[in-house]
Structure 1
Amino acid sequence: MSEEARALYADMGATPVINALGPRTLLGGSSPHPDIIAAMELAGRYYVDMDAFLASTGRIVADLLGSEAALITPGCAAALVLGTAACITGSDPEKMARLPDTTGMPNQVVIQKAQRYKYDRMVRLPGVTLVEAGTEQGTTADELAAAIGPQTAALLYPAIDNEAAIVPLDAAIDIAHARDVPVFVDAAFRVYPLDGLTRYIAAGADLVGYGAKYVGAPNSSGILCGRADLIAAAHLHSFACFETRDLEGVGRPLKIDRQEVVGVVLALRRWLAMDHDARNQSDTRRAETVRRHLGELPHVQSSVNGASLTLTLDEQALGQTAAEIEVALRNGNPSVWLSAAPGQLHLYMPTVADGDEELLAARIREVLGLGE
């Protein structure tokens, strides 16, 4: 970590973080490639009609993802808000202006109870009520069908691993489409393997949201793709149309700048063209580098699994728990963020800056009482 970086964050009253936790929003999410940063800087020299720019870049993204249409958004959470609003109002300006008052409009979104998660809060922002199908143990096809009614605006399907006996996506799409209800998939981080960027649309989902930070775009960027009519309605709800067309949609606070839009397009192109085997091998080598710098640690066993380094601890012999070590690492300078579980520390290497492997190892040794 450079002294310039330390000084910059110190000037801001903050502590720089070595991020071995992953592309988390709470840590800033992503570090775009220098080529993308350079293009964003170039874009910032000039201005652009944002309404037209969102339309033109949406066409590029849609072509890359095999979707009818797409809209670049300020994060996947914003995609959930705008997509839900589109399902409620369509492109009707009067209805758009009334949100979150949904009187006389479809104002329910169905979700399987076992799939409830904190981000469904975004779907409720435009004024809908969530209707739960089934139980925390699972949902039957009949229960899902029964939950859909005349007031259903959409079926929300988070693409998150789930051990409950839920209705799988293909069957859920069939059930919803038989009742003329669109299916909205939250696929925020499903960008690798690469088929995660196309399989939900290919399966028949009407809307899909992604966090563009996962493909190396800026943290505050996302993608909404899907049916052309719904993407057009989501676009009308955007901040750009609020200004250029005097449409009072819900998206005025959800602003994204031209530089970030450029970043999304270029990062997505780069991600789709990347040699991911080489990327994964590089991350594995860097995990091995940290392991080498750690050396032999008493009461600690280390193992590398792909892009991650796991430290298995004898907590009793160390006199510290994994949770206590995690807190101590976070409280240092530089701060180190990683994932802790009982008896284990997990380090995710893709978000550790090149060249910080030795410093990361030194901080761990320091907290373990082994010096640098």
Structure 2
Amino acid sequence: MTDEQRQQLRALPQVERVSAEPELAQVPVALRLACIRQALHEIREEILLGRPATSVMERTLALASRAPKVRGAVNATGILLHTNLGRATLAPAAVAAVAAVAQQHATLEVDDESGGRGDRQAGCAALLRELTGADDAIVVNNNAAATVLALTALASGKDVILSRSELVEIGGHFRLPDVIVQSGARLVEVGTTNRTRVGDYTRALTENTGMLLRCHPSNFRVVGFTESASLEELVALSRQAAVPFGDDIGSGALVDFAPFGLTDEPQVQKSIAAGADLVWFSGDKLLGGPQAGILVGRADLIAVCKKHPLMRALRPDKLTLAALEATLRIYRDGTHWEEIPILRRIQRDPGEISRRCRTVARKLKRLGYDTTTEATFSQVGGGSLPDRQLPSHAVAVRAANLPALARQLRHAATPVYGRIERDRLLLDLRAVDPDEEAALVRAFEGQST
């Protein structure tokens, strides 16, 4: 090492001094410190190699500007399928499948025998047929896309009969009646908000009816003086009228959640077994896979959807199909309760969560935080089971300025999201896996208490 190199190394500023510069005031603290340390490391290497080095500030600002907007986070909100945090997390096998096809060419749409063009949906379709009992299946971008495709391909220019109690609005102000209009179909509302009988559907049937539609109200409940036509009644009516019956069940449960107190969530297989002509649902909710819309049902109806021009616009890419196929294989192999993250979190024992909360609370207390633990309730979220709760436990953090603390945690190297209730920040660990606890604790280091 030359004397000039030693002098350059000694002249490098301390991290704290750089961090205090006004140019970095708008950069979140955790990100700022990480970028400064990385900048100093890179500049030291350049000095030792005899290369001209940029200023620490210039390098830090460049690194901060490259920080990704979408990155991993710790979900301690108590909402297991948090839409704003990406809903379901993938099983390790699904993550591996995505990585494998992302970093190299893939057999996405090639026929293994002929070497010519094949069907990109073949793998997922075969597994969906096996798991649901449906004749055939296709996959699109999301469940809203599945709704648009089904209605456009099968009922454009015709009437779609739907109960007023199922005129749902999903996140982002998207309303089912608007989606139906965009499909080219005409919405025919029947019944009332709280009571709709099969006779209401019968009286609305005409020669122009294109579909009887049921939409599961997955993000709200109507209780009290209520009545609705059963699945079996609607199937029987559709058979009698020779009109397809479409069942939008939303969350896409392939298992029964009743043992965990989570009732009233329709299962795909039961709808198919009852005789629904077409069933569609999400891939990234209770199924525990990637964002996708999945349609299963009669082979002739699936064929019409496959051939529709919209299918080209809505078809999924290789990453989605790889993740979904790997997820469905887990269900087929019978290891879903152990491998699918959302299923593991739903069945997580409250006693185990309580023990983990006490451990995290002690670690945060050593950092100077006022912490306790308390019993609470988690929700499934993602528009699923809105009136059902799971007993859980949370770390309760008290601080002089809770909104400021919550903001600082959101800007940590690995962002942490909790929820503020009254005078404390709650960190519900039901959706936090044990290997995420270290990142949660690190997010509190150096923050203002």
Q: TM-score range by the shorter chain?
A: 0.7 to 0.9
1:355 aligns to what? 435
TM-score where L is the length of structure 2: 0.61
Q: By how many angstroms is 1:148 displaced?
A: 2.8
5+ residue gaps, structure 2, are: 1-29, 36-62, 111-116, 171-175, 257-265, 379-388
Q: Is 1:33 aligned with 2:91?
A: yes
Q: By how many angstroms is 1:227 displaced?
A: 0.7
Residue among 255, 267, 270 paired with 1:199: 270
Q: By how many angstroms is 1:8 displaced?
A: 9.8
Distance 1:348 1:130 in 2: 43
Q: Secondary structure at the match of 1:253?
A: helix
Q: Is 1:69 aligned with 2:142?
A: no
Distance 2:311 2:441 in 1: 44
5+ residue gaps, structure 1, are: 89-101, 238-248
1:284–1:172 CA distance, 2 compared to 1 (3 A): same
Tell me if the contact between 1:72 and 1:264 (Cα under 8 Å) persists in the aligned partners: no
1:35 partner letter? A
Q: By how many angstroms is 1:223 displaced?
A: 1.6
- Partner deviation per Cα, 1:249-290 (whole Å, 9 max, x = no partner): 223321311232132122012034125279355565663354
Distance 1:193 1:235 in 2: 27
Aligned length: 335
1:347–1:254 CA distance, 2 compared to 1 (3 A): farther
Q: Secondary structure at the match of 1:71?
A: strand
2:148 partner letter? V
Root mean square deviation of aligned Cα:
4.2
- Partner deviation per Cα, 1:325-371 (whole Å, 9 max, x = no partner): 99758855354445778899684734x3542235547879999x9x4
1:117 aligns to what? 168
Q: Is 1:276 aligned with 2:318?
A: no
Q: By how many angstroms is 1:87 displaced?
A: 1.6
Distance 1:63 1:205 in 2: 17
Q: Is 1:216 aligned with 2:274?
A: no
- Partner deviation per Cα, 1:7-62 (whole Å, 9 max, x = no partner): 99961245653224333443323332232232233345234247622245423321
Distance 1:170 1:113 in 2: 19
Q: Is 1:264 aligned with 2:324?
A: yes
1:309 partner letter? S
Alignment of 1:97-136 (within 5 A): 102=156, 105-106=157-158, 108-119=159-170, 120=176, 121-136=178-193
2:162 partner letter? I
Distance 2:231 2:404 in 1: 40
Q: By how many angstroms is 1:185 displaced?
A: 1.4
1:253 partner letter? A
TM-score where L is the length of structure 1: 0.72
Distance 1:285 1:24 in 2: 23
1:95 aligns to what? none
Q: By how many angstroms is 1:173 displaced?
A: 2.2
Instruction: Report the structure number with the largest CA radius of gyration.
Output: 2
Alignment of 1:291-330 (within 5 A): 291-292=357-358, 293-294=360-361, 301-303=374-376, 309=392
Residue among 158, 162, 168 paired with 2:215: 158
Q: Is 1:177 aligned with 2:239?
A: yes
Q: By how many angstroms is 1:298 displaced?
A: 7.5
Distance 2:182 2:230 in 1: 26
1:318–1:65 CA distance, 2 compared to 1 (3 A): same
Tell me if the contact between 1:287 and 1:308 (Cα under 8 Å) persists in the aligned partners: no
1:93 aligns to what? none
Q: Is 1:45 aligned with 2:45?
A: no
1:114 partner letter? S
Q: Percent identity?
A: 21
Q: By how many angstroms is 1:234 displaced?
A: 1.0
2:81 partner letter? P
Q: Secondary structure at the match of 1:149?
A: coil
